[in-house]
Amino acid sequence: MNIRAQPIRTTCPYCGVGCGVLARPDGEGGLDISGDPDHPANRGRLCVKGAALAETLRPDGRLLTPRIHGRVADWDSALDMVARRFQETIAEHGPDSVGFYVSGQLLTEDYYVANKLMKGFIGSANIDTNSRLCMASSVAGHRRAFGSDTVPGLYEDFEEAELVVLVGSNLAWCHPVLYQRLAAAREKGLGPRVVVIDPRRTATCDLADLHLAIKPGGDAALFNLLLAENERRRACDGIFLPHVSGLQEALHAARATDPAMTGLEPEDLARFLEWWIDTEKVVTVYSQGINQSDSGTDKVNAILNCHLATGRIGRPGMGPFSVTGQPNAMGGREVGGLANMLACHLDIENKAHRDAVQYFWQAPAMAPGPGLKAVEMFRAVEEGRIKALWIICTNPAVTMPEADRVARAIEGCDFTVVSDMMEQTDTTRLAHVLLPATGWGEKDGTVTNSERRISRQRPSQPRRGEARDDWRILADVGRRMGWENAFGWNSAAEVYAEYAALSGVAGGLGSDFDISAHAGITSAEYDALEPFLWPQSSRKRGGRFFGDGRFHTPDGKARMVPVTARAPQPLCPAYPFRLNTGRVRDHWHTMTRTALSPRLSRHMAEPYLELHPQDAAELGLQPAELAEVDSPHGRAILRVLVTDRVARGHPFAPMHWTGETAPSGRIDALVPWLTDPLSGQPASKSAPVAIRPFAAG
Ligand code: SF4
pLDDT at residue 1 in the model? 40
Condensed to tens digits (0 to 9), the pLDDT of residues 132-153 reads: 999 999 999 999 999 999 999 9
Instruction: Report how far ligand 1's centroid is from the alpha carbon of 124 (Å).
Output: 35
Indicate if the pLDDT at residue 3 is higher than 60.
no
Instruction: Report how far ligand 1's centroid is from the alpha carbon of 26 (Å).
Output: 22
Whether residue 447 has its Cβ less than 6 Å from ligand 1: no
Indicate if the pLDDT at residue 5 is higher than 80.
no
DSSP bridge pairs for 101: 128, 391
Whether residue 579 has its Cβ less than 6 Å from ligand 1: no
- Domains of the chain by start residue, with CATH: 8-56 (3.30.200.210), 80-133+328-446+466-490 (3.40.50.740), 136-323 (3.40.228.10), 577-693 (2.40.40.20)
DSSP count for the chain of H helices, then E strands: 22, 26
Whether residue 17 has its Cβ less than 6 Å from ligand 1: yes
Whether residue 46 has its Cβ less than 6 Å from ligand 1: yes
Condensed to tens digits (0 to 9), the pLDDT of residues 580-605 reads: 999 999 998 888 889 889 899 889 88
Whether residue 176 has its Cβ less than 6 Å from ligand 1: yes
Whether residue 505 has its Cβ less than 6 Å from ligand 1: no
Whether residue 49 has its Cβ less than 6 Å from ligand 1: yes
pLDDT at residue 592 in the model? 87
- Position 571 confidence tier, pLDDT thresholds 50, 70, 90: very high
- Position 156 confidence tier, pLDDT thresholds 50, 70, 90: very high
ipTM value > 0.95:
yes
Atom of ligand 1 nearest to the CA of 449: 7
Alpha-carbon span 23 to 8, nearest angstrom: 5
Condensed to tens digits (0 to 9), the pLDDT of residues 538-567 reads: 989 999 999 999 999 999 999 999 999 998
Whether residue 52 has its Cβ less than 6 Å from ligand 1: no
Instruction: Report how far ligand 1's centroid is from the alpha carbon of 322 (Å).
Output: 16
Instruction: Report how far ligand 1's centroid is from the alpha carbon of 453 (Å).
Output: 14
Instruction: Report how far ligand 1's centroid is from the alpha carbon of 183 (Å).
Output: 16
Instruction: Report how far ligand 1's centroid is from the alpha carbon of 18 (Å).
Output: 6
Instruction: Report how far ligand 1's centroid is from the alpha carbon of 176 (Å).
Output: 6
Pseudo-torsion of CA 393, 399, 400, 404, nearest 10°? 110
Pseudo-torsion of CA 75, 77, 83, 88, nearest 10°? -160
Atom of ligand 1 nearest to the CA of 35: 6
pLDDT at residue 325 in the model? 85
- Position 662 confidence tier, pLDDT thresholds 50, 70, 90: low
Whether residue 35 has its Cβ less than 6 Å from ligand 1: no
* Residues in Cβ contact with 435 at an 8 Å cutoff, skipping those fewer than 6 apart: 66, 78, 79, 82, 417, 418, 419, 420, 468, 473
Indicate if the pLDDT at residue 498 is higher than 80.
yes
Among 36, 177, 440, which residue has the most ligand 1 atoms within 8 Å of its CB, making it the best to mutate?
177
pLDDT at residue 605 in the model? 85
Atom of ligand 1 nearest to the CA of 21: 6
**Residue identifier of the C-alpha nearest atom 4 of ligand 1:** 19
**Residue identifier of the C-alpha nearest atom 2 of ligand 1:** 15
Whether residue 177 has its Cβ less than 6 Å from ligand 1: yes
Averaged pLDDT of the chain: 95
Instruction: Report how far ligand 1's centroid is from the alpha carbon of 74 (Å).
Output: 36
Q: Tell me, what amino acid is at 372?
A: L
Whether residue 269 has its Cβ less than 6 Å from ligand 1: no
pLDDT at residue 661 in the model? 56
Tell me which residue of 162, 286, 295 sits closest to 566, measured CA to CA: 295
Atom of ligand 1 nearest to the CA of 41: 4
pLDDT at residue 658 in the model? 82
pLDDT at residue 14 in the model? 96
Whether residue 507 has its Cβ less than 6 Å from ligand 1: no
Whether residue 263 has its Cβ less than 6 Å from ligand 1: no
CB atoms within 10 A of CB 359: 11
Alpha-carbon span 604 to 632, nearest angstrom: 28
Tell me how far CA of residue 239 lies from CA of 72, 145, 236, 336, 547, in angstroms: 67, 18, 9, 35, 12
pLDDT at residue 6 in the model? 87
Indicate if the pLDDT at residue 696 is higher than 80.
no
Whether residue 18 has its Cβ less than 6 Å from ligand 1: yes
pLDDT at residue 697 in the model? 61
Indicate if the pLDDT at residue 281 is higher than 90.
yes
Indicate if the pLDDT at residue 695 is higher than 50.
yes
pLDDT at residue 660 in the model? 59
The DSSP code sequence of 140-179 is: HHHHHHHSS------THHHHH-SEEEEES--HHHHSHHHH
Taking residues 167-189, report their average pLDDT: 95
Indicate if the pLDDT at residue 178 is higher than 60.
yes
The DSSP code sequence of 356-418 is: HHHHHHT-SS---S----HHHHHHHHHTTS--EEEEES--HHHHSSSHHHHHHHHHHSSEEEE
Torsion sign (Cα): 584, 585, 590, 591: negative
Whether residue 178 has its Cβ less than 6 Å from ligand 1: no
Condensed to tens digits (0 to 9), the pLDDT of residues 436-481 reads: 999 999 999 999 999 999 999 999 999 999 999 999 999 999 999 9
CA 100 to chain centre: 17
Instruction: Report how far ligand 1's centroid is from the alpha carbon of 404 (Å).
Output: 30
